[in-house]
Amino acid sequence: MAVDTSPRTTTWTYVEGEWLSGNPPLIGPTSHAMWLGSTVFDGARWFDGIAPDLDLHCQRINRSAVAMGLKPVKTSEEIEALAWEGIKKFDGKTPIYIKPMYWGEHGSPGSVVAVDAESTRFALCLFEAPLGGTGGVTLTVSPFRRPSPETATTDAKAGSLYPNSGRMILEARNRGFNNALVRDLNGNVVETASSNVFMVKDGIVYTPIANRTFLAGITRARVIGLLRQEGFDVREETLSVEQFMAADEIFTTGNYSKVVSVNRLDDREFQEGPVARKALELYMNWAHGRSASEE
């Protein structure tokens, strides 16, 4: 039986000057991206009529392209304008995921393994996706590690990095957890398999220092700034699994679900903490352009 390739939610994709509905066939079996992995993407969100930090996501996709050896063919401003154009194609009721992408079509002359930057292609895909993240998440320490900059293209939001995340999640699910707490090659905690991570101990907020083994996210940076403005002591440090196990609360940040509490790490259970609730409140207030006093 043939696999149904239609998208699971309403989807529009801009490619080569036109908007196409559904899941248009864009990559063939000889495309460099298909068999040698030259893909980068980014992800922004639209909800409640707003798209927080959309400009920063559009800037990052071009940096990722350069890191992958691709040639950005759109300016960040052009991508942002296209995103707002695409948003108008939806009914405005369901949150949207905004995904700009670059990929290589051909290999370089003399070495098919290396991508030919002149063959870079661009698409912008928007699809309906609820924010999610309610009810908390359970984590287990993953046996798998994040690569270092010497071993993978960690400075890009590269599609080739995600199979490693996928196996982390599958292994965690096989043991009854939603997601995984992930370490770098030196054994230090860096993130979860799909988001950045924070812990709180004695009122101080900690998050793994950006050591180039993981993507220090745009939402992560926004939450750090908002918490600091609110008077919290937020520290970026090298952190161990033992420190997370002894934390008062743990929460994650990411573009897909924003701020989500962790209610279990292996055998340790946690309650949704006040810092996680405050972080989400501050983020949503900032995103909607209002102060906490307006709540």
* Paired sense of beta strands 96-104 and 111-115, if any: unpaired
Checking if the pLDDT of 101 tops 90, the result is yes
Angstrom distances, CA of residue 48 to CA of 10, 99, 159, 178, 211: 17, 18, 29, 27, 34
- Average of per-residue pLDDT values in the chain: 96
Residues 6+ apart with CB under 8 A from 111: none
User: In the predicted model, what is the mean pLDDT of residues 11-30?
Assistant: 97
DSSP 88-101: TTS-SSS-EEEEEE
Q: How confident is the model at residue 11 (pLDDT cuts 50, 70, 90)?
A: very high
Measuring CA to CA, how many Å separate 37 from each of 155, 216, 287?
15, 22, 34
**Alpha-carbon distances, residue 173 vs 26, 140, 203, 272 (angstroms):** 32, 9, 31, 21
Specify the pTM: 0.94
- What is the rounded average pLDDT of the residues 199-203? 98
Task: Provide the 10 A C-beta neighbour count for residue 91.
Answer: 7
Query: Does residue 295 have a pLDDT over 50?
Result: no
39: β partners: 103
The domain locations on the chain are 11-128, 137-288
Q: Looking at domain 11-128, which of 3.40.640.10, 3.30.420.480, 3.30.470.10, 3.90.180.10 is its CATH number?
A: 3.30.470.10
59: pLDDT strictly greater than 90? yes
Q: What does the pLDDT average to over 178-184?
A: 97
Angle at 170 between CA 256 and CA 95, to 5 degrees: 20
The model's pLDDT over 225-270, given as tens digits with 9 standing for 90+, comes to: 999 999 999 999 999 999 999 999 999 999 989 999 999 999 999 9
Q: What sign does the dihedral 37-98-53-133 (CA atoms) show?
A: negative
Measured distance CA(244)–CA(184) in Å, rounded: 15
Predicted pLDDT at 277:
95
Q: For residue 29, give the DSSP letter.
A: T
Q: Which pLDDT band holds residue 294 (cuts at 50, 70, 90)?
A: very low
> 292 pLDDT exceeds 90?
no
Multiple choice CATH, 137-288, 1.10.3210.10, 3.20.10.10, 2.40.50.140, 2.40.128.20:
3.20.10.10
What is the mean pLDDT of the segment spanning 45-71? 98
Residue 234: both structure tokens together: 């937020």
The proportion of the chain whose per-residue pLDDT surpasses 90, expressed as a percent, equals 94
- 116-173 per-position pLDDT tens digit: 999 999 999 999 999 876 678 999 999 999 999 999 999 999 999 999 999 999 999 9
